[in-house]
């Protein structure tokens, strides 16, 4: 039994006990939730690229049973996932461009890359400053150093500034590009960042694009083939969540690497937008039936009014969850994520009228 601690930046300390190998495969058999977008499920392949309507089958069980998941997305790009954390990499002629060396996965990422090429990682991109998505950078840098390669670490200027401000102990970017529509060259391939004017997840969150591959990478905005994660994935400003989704959809890409969830498509963005519309309607209905004071302690037994609003919003979120259950109850994460996201939506609808 291997114990793994996931030190996530915003979502707190999550503890998982995970067994790898034959024993895990023989003991874990968990029914998978249906696809949110009627995807065609295919077995993972590091050789065969996906069609736009295809996704990796049994992804939940694969994360529990396998060391990692590796899927070829396009001619040059690959989707990697381990313990529900994902990223992507691009294989060039001289080296590998790796986005976001996610936590606790450095050696696994290197092993996955070695499945498809003998080339070393020559460039790392930090998509944003959260440590859970970039904290395996030292492992990658050291491996490349042993191969005689000094790794370029590229981020937006917004991410570099934030890492500086928080005095991050992680390897610093060696190069920065403008957050708003910046770009750099990797072996003749143009790589772009589309920074949001108003970003939901973090102020330095943007969409990273490889136009020649029609691939986008943006962690923590959308978990493809799943409902929005609990707390809208730790969005610092959830007010802008829907706006960011619409902006993401407007960009030129076919395949999405979202940091969590399956390989994404624009159908996944449409599903999220429809869900948010239904969520707001469900919360609005809930405001009409849930009475103020529900769930709050007797005010005569407390010396504070602080329990009133949290209890009310919690009740609104729970009621909205029941309104949404017939349409969305079968999907991945419903019981855990929807009540909290309903509570957040209720607060936003209360605050912004």
Residue pLDDT tens, the chain, 353 long: 333 333 433 333 333 434 333 334 435 689 999 999 999 999 999 999 999 999 999 999 999 999 999 999 999 999 999 999 999 999 999 999 999 999 999 999 999 999 999 999 999 999 999 999 999 999 999 999 999 999 999 999 999 999 999 999 999 999 999 999 999 999 999 999 999 999 999 999 999 999 999 999 999 999 999 999 999 999 999 999 999 999 999 999 999 999 999 999 999 999 999 999 999 999 999 999 999 988 888 888 888 888 999 999 999 999 999 999 999 999 999 999 999 999 999 999 999 99
Tell which of 210, 233, 264 closes a domain: 264
pTM of the full predicted structure?
A: 0.92
Residue at 274 is within a domain: no
Residue at 187 is within a domain: yes
Cβ neighbours of residue 282 under 8 Å, at least 6 residues apart?
319, 320, 321, 323, 324, 342
Co-location of 165 and 290 in the same domain: no
Co-location of 69 and 151 in the same domain: yes
Helix (H) or strand (E) holding 189: strand 189-195
Co-location of 94 and 209 in the same domain: yes
Of 230, 329, 174, the residue nearest 14 (C-alpha): 230
Written as six digits, the tokens of 111 are 């092993």
Co-location of 103 and 198 in the same domain: yes
Measured between alpha carbons, how far is 65 from 258 in angstroms, rounded to an integer?
Answer: 21
Tell which of 234, 264, 294 closes a domain: 264
Tell which of 220, 235, 264 closes a domain: 264
**Domain encompassing residue 319:** 285-351
Co-location of 258 and 296 in the same domain: no
CA distances to 28, 29, 79 from 21, rounded to whole Å, are 11, 14, 21
Backbone dihedral angles phi then psi of residue 96, each to the nearest 5 degrees: -115, 135
DSSP state of 230: T
Co-location of 50 and 171 in the same domain: yes
Residue at 273 is within a domain: no
Co-location of 100 and 223 in the same domain: yes
Co-location of 248 and 185 in the same domain: yes
Co-location of 24 and 76 in the same domain: yes
In the chain, how many H helices and how many E strands?
A: 11, 16
Residue at 204 is within a domain: yes
Co-location of 218 and 310 in the same domain: no
Residue at 189 is within a domain: yes
Residue at 278 is within a domain: no
Residue at 247 is within a domain: yes
Co-location of 244 and 189 in the same domain: yes
Co-location of 187 and 249 in the same domain: yes
Residue at 213 is within a domain: yes
Domain count, the chain: 2
């Amino acid at each position: 039994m291997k114990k793994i601690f996931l030190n996530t930046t915003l979502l707190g300390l999550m503890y998982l006990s995970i067994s790898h190998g034959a024993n895990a495969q023989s003991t874990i058999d968990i029914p998978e939730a249906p696809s949110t977008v009627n995807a065609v499920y295919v077995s993972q392949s590091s050789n065969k690229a996906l069609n736009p309507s295809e996704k990796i089958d049994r992804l939940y069980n694969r994360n529990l049973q396998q060391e990692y998941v590796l899927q070829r997305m396009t001619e040059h790009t690959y989707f990697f996932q381990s313990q529900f954390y994902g990223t992507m990499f691009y294989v060039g002629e001289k080296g590998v461009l790796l986005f976001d060396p996610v936590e606790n996965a450095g050696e696994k990422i290197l092993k996955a890359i070695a499945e498809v090429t003998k080339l070393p990682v020559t460039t790392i991109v930090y998509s944003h400053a959260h440590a859970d998505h970039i904290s395996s950078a030292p492992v990658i840098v050291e491996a490349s150093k042993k191969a005689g390669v000094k790794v370029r670490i590229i981020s937006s200027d917004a991410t570099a500034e934030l890492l500086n401000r928080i005095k991050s102990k992680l390897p610093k970017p060696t190069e920065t590009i403008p957050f708003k529509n910046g770009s750099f060259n990797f072996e003749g391939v143009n790589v772009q960042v589309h920074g949001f004017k108003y970003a939901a997840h973090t102020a330095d969150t943007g969409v990273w694009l490889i136009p020649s591959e029609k691939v986008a990478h943006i962690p923590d905005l959308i978990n493809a083939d799943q409902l929005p994660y609990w707390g809208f994935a730790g969005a610092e400003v959830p007010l802008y969540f829907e706006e960011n989704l619409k902006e993401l959809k407007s960009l030129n890409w076919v395949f999405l690497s979202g940091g969590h969830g399956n390989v994404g498509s624009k159908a996944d963005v449409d599903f999220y937008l429809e869900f948010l519309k239904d969520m707001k309607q469900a919360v609005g209905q809930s405001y009409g039936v849930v009475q103020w004071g529900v769930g709050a302690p007797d005010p005569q037994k407390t010396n504070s009014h602080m329990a009133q609003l949290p209890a009310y919003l919690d009740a609104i979120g729970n009621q909205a969850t029941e309104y949404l259950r017939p349409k969305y109850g079968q999907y991945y994460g419903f019981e855990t994520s929807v009540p909290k996201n309903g509570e957040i939506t209720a607060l936003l609808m209360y605050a912004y009228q």
